[in-house]
């Protein structure tokens, strides 16, 4: 049986919730030259890289380690 | 010859050269032709996976949609891809690679046929995947023709769209059929570097003409403020949540499957998983911002893609040629992998599986694959001349079908109790619903959603496939332990 750590499910759920930033969709401010909603999602996308570093380092399935 | 045409010809010559260089390492076996002997390293895997996923849909479709509807296209397709696709690589890609290496799989139909011991499932999946892939290949072929037409003078004076489409198909056919996966991966790497560099160049050059990013956005805010916000009602929320399912299509694309299986080791995936969100951001943000900014100078109806209009207005001949080469690179980097995967599928799932394995030599089997690729490209070329649908809507339909098949692939990988009948019913449910929704959407003005609610058809197809897969599996005999032991790590 392939076992993934429980925090991984929480992490996936968490980033999906953060992705749906419903509370600010009608905010029309321009911040750092970008519409604030676009900037929010750019920052989110960039932050996903270090998040994925944690995933591949801390939750790499054991059966893959042999290959 | 204009600078634009000269640069495109030079670029295509370079692509052919790299493709032919890749052939020099060819080992003469089927596995080497289709999967480069599973030898692709981290950097090329990242570049080729990313390049393959970036299509005319990204460069032309996304900027076109941003021009029409604003920044929400980045939320719908850009950041959702940055979020979902790395997890698809992690959960699905590595696992399929592991199984592929152990059992020598080349295609998804081959994997599911073995996993469920069902020939019918393999055949149905082959037909469904090829049918879904057709509109996606069509996007690329159509996009190439449209771009060359617009860059050389537009509908009245420019080269007819079929010229660009045919040129692109001819070049792709040459290096894909000659060099196979290794050439395709090498060329994809070159193309990805080209379109990322050129995309950044276009972004800075064009925005520079508008006085910088802040100035350009302020101009848009003054005249079209609705383009800079996302609607905030239940329709928009459902639409946004629906689109989160679309990137799951990456887990079902036959061409991505082939690239996964070509990886040298499981660790090779790590770079792709980590850097994919950054690559997405680097390409999608310029594309979407330029589409929105296009509203400053261009009013609908447009002649040709907005990106091409901006390039022609704000850059000189040589720069326009470079930018055109970048658009070609983005389109071709997907088209070649899609083309190769159809050849792999035809050779593996039809020619080899249905009795020709012993009667034909390996090179004859590969020849069948090449002929199939040629026929497919010819059909798509003809379709590109008659279809009038926008690149974005064509793309969404194709991606929706693939995404809806995701539960079947995940079930095969992670659910021991799933059965052949369950998987078959899941695939057939997607096929029936996809055709039904497509027929309903014909003649529909704007984006089709279920009963106008904002819910995209992909949600219904996905839920239908998952439900039928689970229910039918639970009501049919569980698979043998022997099969389970083969497909699940201890």
Residue A13 C-alpha, separation from nearest chain B C-alpha, in angstroms: 11
Contacts of A65 in chain B (CB under 8 A): 266
**In the structure encoding, which two tokens stand for residue B306, read together?**
């907005």
Domain count for chain B = 1
Nearest CA in chain A to B413: A2
Distance (Å, rounded) from C-alpha B140 to C-alpha B114? 33
CA B439 to chain centroid: 23
Q: Within an 8 Å CB–CB cutoff, is residue B414 touching chain A?
A: yes
- Angle CA B71–B193–A33, to nearest 5: 30
Distance (Å, rounded) from C-alpha A32 to C-alpha A39? 8
Helix, strand or coil for residue B466? helix
Taking the alpha carbons at both ends of chain A, their separation in whole angstroms is: 17
Contacts of B89 in chain A (CB under 8 A): none
Q: What is the CA radius of gyration of chain A?
A: 16
Say yes or no for a CB contact (<8 Å) between A52 and B277: yes
Contact indicator for B254, A49 with CB cutoff of 8 Å: no
Q: Within an 8 Å CB–CB cutoff, is residue B277 touching chain A?
A: yes
The beta-carbon neighbor of B98 closest among A19, A44, A63 is A63
Residue B443 exposed, middle or buried by CB count within 10 Å (0-12, 13-18, 19+) = exposed
Residue A52 C-alpha, separation from nearest chain B C-alpha, in angstroms: 5
Domain that holds residue B315: 3-487
Contacts of A58 in chain B (CB under 8 A): none
Distance (Å, rounded) from C-alpha B27 to C-alpha B181? 12
Say yes or no for a CB contact (<8 Å) between A30 and B90: no
What's residue B34's pLDDT? 77
- Angle CA B128–B420–B112, to nearest 5: 55
Say yes or no for a CB contact (<8 Å) between B414 and A2: yes
Contacts of B277 in chain A (CB under 8 A): 45-46, 48-49, 52
pLDDT tens profile B231-274: 766 677 788 888 889 899 999 999 999 999 999 999 999 999 99
Helix, strand or coil for residue B443? coil
Residue B298 exposed, middle or buried by CB count within 10 Å (0-12, 13-18, 19+) = middle
Say yes or no for a CB contact (<8 Å) between A45 and B280: yes
Nearest CA in chain A to B225: A28
**In the structure encoding, which two tokens stand for residue B27, read together?**
């080992």
Residue A64 C-alpha, separation from nearest chain B C-alpha, in angstroms: 6
Complex ipTM value: 0.95
Distance (Å, rounded) from C-alpha B188 to C-alpha A35? 33
Residues 22-41 of A with CB under 8 A from B: 22, 25-28, 30, 33-35, 37-38, 41
Whole-number percent of chain B with pLDDT over 90: 36
What's residue B191's pLDDT? 87
Residues 215-234 of B with CB under 8 A from A: 217-218, 221, 225, 228-232
Exposure on the CB side of residue B8, measured as CA atoms within 13 A: 26
What length is written for chain A?
67
**In the structure encoding, which two tokens stand for residue B359, read together?**
């009667």
Q: Within an 8 Å CB–CB cutoff, is residue B359 touching chain A?
A: no
What's residue B232's pLDDT? 65
Dihedral angle of Cα B159, B288, B10, B369, to the nearest 10 degrees: -80
Say yes or no for a CB contact (<8 Å) between B79 and A15: no
* String of DSSP letters for B397-438: HHHHHHHHTHHHHHHHHH-TT--HHHHHHHHHHHHHHHHHHH
What's residue B356's pLDDT? 67
pLDDT band at B312 (very low <50, low <70, confident <90, very high): confident
- Stretch among B15-29, B216-230, B426-440 having the lowest mean pLDDT: B15-29
Q: What are phi and psi of A7, to 5 degrees?
A: -65, -20
Distance (Å, rounded) from C-alpha B213 to C-alpha B343? 44
DSSP letter assigned to residue B263: B
What's residue B53's pLDDT? 87
pLDDT tens profile B336-347: 889 889 888 988
A interface test, pick of B62, B91, B274 with most A CB neighbours within 10 Å: B274
What's residue B202's pLDDT? 85
Nearest CA in chain A to B242: A20
The beta-carbon neighbor of A37 closest among B86, B229, B266 is B229
Q: What are phi and psi of B417, to 5 degrees?
A: -80, -10
**In the structure encoding, which two tokens stand for residue B44, read together?**
């090329």
pLDDT band at A41 (very low <50, low <70, confident <90, very high): very high
pLDDT tens profile B285-302: 999 999 999 999 888 777
Instruction: Label residue B355 left, alpha or beta by phi (over 0 means left) and psi (-120 to 50 means alpha).
Output: left
pLDDT tens profile B57-109: 677 778 888 998 889 889 888 999 999 999 999 999 999 999 999 998 999 99
User: Domain containing B279 — which CATH number?
Assistant: 1.20.1730.10
């Amino acid at each position: 049986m392939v076992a993934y750590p429980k925090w991984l499910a929480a992490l996936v759920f968490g980033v999906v919730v953060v992705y749906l930033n419903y509370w600010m969709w009608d905010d029309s401010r321009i911040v750092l030259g970008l519409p604030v909603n676009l900037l929010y999602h750019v920052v989110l996308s960039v932050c996903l890289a270090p998040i994925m570093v944690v995933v591949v380092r801390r939750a790499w399935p054991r059966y893959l380690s042999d290959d | 010859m204009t600078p634009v045409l000269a640069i495109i010809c030079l670029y295509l010559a370079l692509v052919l050269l790299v493709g032919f260089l890749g052939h020099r390492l060819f080992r003469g076996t089927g596995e080497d032709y289709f999967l480069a002997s599973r030898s692709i390293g981290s950097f090329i895997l990242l570049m080729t996976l990313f390049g393959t996923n970036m299509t005319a849909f990204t460069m032309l479709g996304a900027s076109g949609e941003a021009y029409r509807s604003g920044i929400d296209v980045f939320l719908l397709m850009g950041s959702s891809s940055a979020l979902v696709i790395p997890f698809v690589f992690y959960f699905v890609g590595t696992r399929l690679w592991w199984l592929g290496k152990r059992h020598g799989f080349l295609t998804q139909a081959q994997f599911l046929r073995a996993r469920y011991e069902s020939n019918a499932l393999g055949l149905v999946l082959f037909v469904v995947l090829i049918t879904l892939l057709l509109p996606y290949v069509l996007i690329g072929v159509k996009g190439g023709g449209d771009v060359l037409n617009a860059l050389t003078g537009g509908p009245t004076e420019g080269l007819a769209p079929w010229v660009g489409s045919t040129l692109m198909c001819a070049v792709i056919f040459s290096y894909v059929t000659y060099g196979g996966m290794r050439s395709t991966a090498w060329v994809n790497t070159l193309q990805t570097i080209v379109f990322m560099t050129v995309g950044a160049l276009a972004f800075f050059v064009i925005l520079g003409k508008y006085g910088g990013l802040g100035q350009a956005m302020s101009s848009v805010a003054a005249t079209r403020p609705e383009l800079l916000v996302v609607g905030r009602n239940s329709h928009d929320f459902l639409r946004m949540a629906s689109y989160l399912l679309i990137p799951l299509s990456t887990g079902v694309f036959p061409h991505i499957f082939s690239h996964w299986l070509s990886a040298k080791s499981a660790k090779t995936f790590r770079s792709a998983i980590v850097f994919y969100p950054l690559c997405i951001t680097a390409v999608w943000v310029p594309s979407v911002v330029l589409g929105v900014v296009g509203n400053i100078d261009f009013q609908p109806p447009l002649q040709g893609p907005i990106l091409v209009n901006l390039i022609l207005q704000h850059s000189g001949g040589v720069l326009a040629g470079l930018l055109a080469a970048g658009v070609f690179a983005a389109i071709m980097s997907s088209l070649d992998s899609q083309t190769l995967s159809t050849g792999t599928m035809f050779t593996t799932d039809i020619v080899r599986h249905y009795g020709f394995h012993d009667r034909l030599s390996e090179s004859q089997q590969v020849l069948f694959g090449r002929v199939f690729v040629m026929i497919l490209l010819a059909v798509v070329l003809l379709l590109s001349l008659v279809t009038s649908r926008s690149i974005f809507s064509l793309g969404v339909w194709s991606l929706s079908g693939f995404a809806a098949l995701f539960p079947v692939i995940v079930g095969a990988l992670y659910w021991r109790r799933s059965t052949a009948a369950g998987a078959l019913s899941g695939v057939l449910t997607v096929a029936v619903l996809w055709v039904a929704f497509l027929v309903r959407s014909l003649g529909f003005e704007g984006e089709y959603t279920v009963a106008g609610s904002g819910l995209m058809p992909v949600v219904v197809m996905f839920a239908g496939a998952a439900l039928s897969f689970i229910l039918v599996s639970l009501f049919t005999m569980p698979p043998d332990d022997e099969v389970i032991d083969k497909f699940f790590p201890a």
